[in-house]
Amino acid sequence: VAKPDALLVADGVTRRFGGLTAVRVDHLEIQRGAITALIGPNGAGKSTLFNVLSGFDRADAGSWSFDGHDISKRPAHRVARRGMVRTFQLTKTLSRLSVMENMKLAARHQRGERLALAVLRPLWRSQEREIERRADELLERFRLSHMRDEYAGTLSGGQRKLLEMARALMVRPTMVMLDEPMAGVNPALTQSLLGHITELRDEGMTVCFVEHDMDVVMGISDWVVCMAEGEVVAEGPPRAIGKNPAVIDAYLGK
Ligand code: ADP
Ligand code: MG
């Protein structure tokens, strides 16, 4: 039985690629208003689990609900409309468009418009203004306002990660799933990204993020879930998880 403050509850989630079972998660709960870190060695199935839960990939089996609604077979834009959005390990910014255009496209894409249509079809003036207002607010928050009209391709790796997070927030989600938000980011920007993540949590948002760096995980997580070979092998509060034998096994390889 799921705890009363579970926002996302998943059961029996399986994803196979040919003979490989990339994900077989018996049970997973993500607590509302908390930061949950998803850890585990390369190939553990973390990204695949994100893909499946967020509707970017199909599962072979399993069911999961978000905020009490079954979203198991919903495509990504319907999941986003329910309030759950995700970012990708490799950022999806469009380098030949401006930062602002990337923000505006994200808003329409997450609402289910096909990308080509969203690029070509104008919106009503009032809708456009509302989206721009929201985008400017987020660019300000992530300190990207000065890059607003520059090509996204001119952003540094870290700034691209910030833009990716800003884009995810365009639909005012209740939960964000961040796949390695700190990967390839310099230490100064890492601190700022961590600050943004805790700030979102403090505002009541639910955050689930994939991360390798244990110091980072220990520093900001309320709960840690460890995957290995597709399964959840351990979970617990950050202080306990580093000493958990299953976690040590997972990282050292059995
Ligand atoms: P993680 O994010 O934990 O590093 P992934 O979810 O990316 O792990 O991958 C889990 C396993 O599934 C890996 O063995 C990977 O090679 C495999 N895998 C992931 N995506 C695909 C795919 N589209 N086709 C075939 N195998 C895949
Ligand atoms: Mg991954």
Q: Tell me the pLDDT tens digit for each residue of 29-51.
A: 999 999 999 999 999 999 999 99
Give the ipTM of the model, two decimals please.
Answer: 0.99
As given in the structure block, the two tokens for residue 66 are 């978000």
Assess whether the C-beta atom of 17 lies below 6 angstroms from ligand 1: yes
Domain boundaries, the chain: 6-252
Q: Which residue has the higher pLDDT, 214 or 229?
A: 229
Asked whether residue 183 carries a pLDDT value surpassing 60, the answer given is yes
Identity of residue 2 = A
User: For 151, which DSSP code?
Assistant: B
How many residues belong to the chain?
254
For domain 6-252, is the CATH number 3.40.50.300? yes
Assess whether the C-beta atom of 42 lies below 6 angstroms from ligand 1: yes
The whole-number pLDDT of residue 187 equals: 85
For the chain, percent of residues with pLDDT exceeding 70: 92
Q: How many CB atoms lie within 10 A of CB 118?
A: 18
Instruction: Give the residue among 106, 112, 173, 155 at the shortest CA–CA distance from 135.
Output: 106
Identity of residue 66 = F
Assess whether the C-beta atom of 121 lies below 6 angstroms from ligand 1: no
Q: How far is the CA of 162 from the centre of ligand 1 (A)?
A: 25
* Mean pLDDT for the stretch of residues 192-208: 94
The whole-number pLDDT of residue 11 equals: 98
Which residues lie closer than 8 Å to 93 by C-beta, 6 or more apart? 102, 152, 155, 160, 163, 164, 167
* Mean pLDDT for the stretch of residues 56-75: 95
Which residues lie closer than 8 Å to 88 by C-beta, 6 or more apart? 164, 179
For residue 16, give the ligand nearest its CA. Answer: 1
As given in the structure block, the two tokens for residue 73 are 């077979």
Identity of residue 37 = A
The whole-number pLDDT of residue 254 equals: 57
Q: pLDDT averaged over the chain? A: 90
